[in-house]
Amino acid sequence: MQVYFDNAATTALDPEVIQVMVETMHTNFGNPSSIHTHGRQARTIIERARKQIAQLLNVSPSEIFFTSGGTEADNTAIVRSIIDFGITHAITSPLEHHAVLHTLEELEKDGKIQLDLLPVSTDGTVDLAHLETLLASNPRTFVSLMHANNEIGNITDLARVSEICQKYNAILHSDTVQTMGHYIHDLSALKIDFITGAAHKFHGPKGVGFLYVNGNNKIKPFIYGGAQERNMRGGTENVYGIVGLAKALEIAYKDMDAHHAYIQGLKSYMQEQLTAAIPGVTFNGVTAPEKSLYTVLNVSFPCTDMADMLLFNLDISGISCSGGSACSSGTDIGSHVLRNIQADPKRPAVRFSFSKYNTKEEIDLVVNKLKEICAK
């Protein structure tokens, strides 16, 4: 039996998404920049998808720009904002995805900005009081805080962050890759400048995503080469991927409440079973359901002698998940997230991440295998 518990890395394509993509491949192969019939048909498909996504997010279609994924979208928002708005100060947390953290660090190395990292607690909570303190003395700052952490699942109160940033006229970007398709994002109610999405995190295809740019902001392209995406992103659009993205997000919004309840049930069940089966097991990050991403569970195990072999043992047993440690060893550079929340470097950590396709039976199998491994 193969078990896939690495949905925070990527998700399986929904059959409905595959169907609509294949149909588009058969019938609409034109270049959307071409002015003939085939091109206009492809352009119509893209604009229909853009409108569909905009309606789900409660924004204007003119504020949605398609990209190759979340990393490109993050880089576009960060680099172009800092250059085009003349920003010299940025704030983020040490727990951000490397698409954000490394981009800001490189800009600091190049002398473009001064970068401040917000303090975080041992449960991964970001210090928003310190954010306000920094903004009070640094007006017109670029702030980037992810909605939910991809490793430990902590959810940031974006409404509160937005209020703070508005108070000090800061530019706010949020990497919403892990929560897009899993939570409602009403961007007309949330005052935010940029958010990002990647289709493969909510049962869509890889290689396609989008950037929301608030209509009050005008930035230049990050990628030059053509007039695509209303002169905002050079390169022929990934028509099939965009169709799949829109369909996947439509399905996610339609079934969101049911999927949330079902997957939260899986996560809670696994916490209970692991606690009962393996004495000394601990959970990284905030565990309260309302403050934690329901698809992610990060677990540290007491079997310190298995630190380098735990994931390998799970893999050869047909169980796919991801993990790391708070320290570096060999070619493994370790998890910057676990390191910054001061997780025990001797204890192996595993991230289990769930989807609508997982079952309690799979959890029972994994827990039994983990109990067997840790008992050795």
Mean pLDDT on 77-99: 97
Q: State which fold the 15-254 domain adopts.
A: Aspartate Aminotransferase; domain 2 (3.40.640)
Distance in angstroms (rounded) separating the CA atoms of residues 97 and 71: 9
Cite the residue boundaries of each domain of the chain with CATH code 3.90.1150.10.
Answer: 3-11+255-374
- Structural tokens at position 348: 């192996």
Whole-structure pTM value: 0.95
Q: What is the pLDDT of residue 1?
A: 82
Contact yes or no for 170/161 (Cβ under 8 A): no
37-57 vs 239-254: helix axis angle to the nearest 10?
Answer: 30
- Structural tokens at position 18: 């595959």
Mean pLDDT on 304-312: 78
- Structural tokens at position 106: 């490189």
Would you call 303 a catalytic residue per the annotation? no
Q: Which of 50-59, 110-119, 171-180, 297-306 has the lowest mean pLDDT?
A: 297-306
On the 0-12 / 13-18 / 19+ scale of CB atoms within 10 A, 223 is: middle
CA dihedral of residues 19, 57, 288, 346 (deg, nearest 10): 70
- CATH annotation of 3-11+255-374: 3.90.1150.10
Q: Which secondary-structure segment (H or E) carries 197?
A: strand 194-198
Distance in angstroms (rounded) separating the CA atoms of residues 267 and 253: 20
- Structural tokens at position 46: 């893209």
Which residues have C-beta within 8 Å of that of residue 29, sequence separation ≥ 6?
38, 42
Q: Does residue 111 have a pLDDT over 70?
A: yes
Mean pLDDT on 274-300: 96
Q: Which secondary-structure segment (H or E) carries 115?
A: strand 114-117
Distance in angstroms (rounded) separating the CA atoms of residues 195 and 173: 6
Q: What is the pLDDT of residue 327?
A: 44
Cite the residue boundaries of each domain of the chain with CATH code 3.40.640.10.
Answer: 15-254
Q: Does residue 188 have a pLDDT over 60?
A: yes
Considering Cα of 99, then 100, then 106, then 112, what sign does the dihedral take? positive
- Structural tokens at position 103: 């981009």
- pLDDT band per the 50, 70, 90 thresholds, residue 97: very high
Q: Of 165, 303, 327, 374, which is the active-site residue?
A: 327
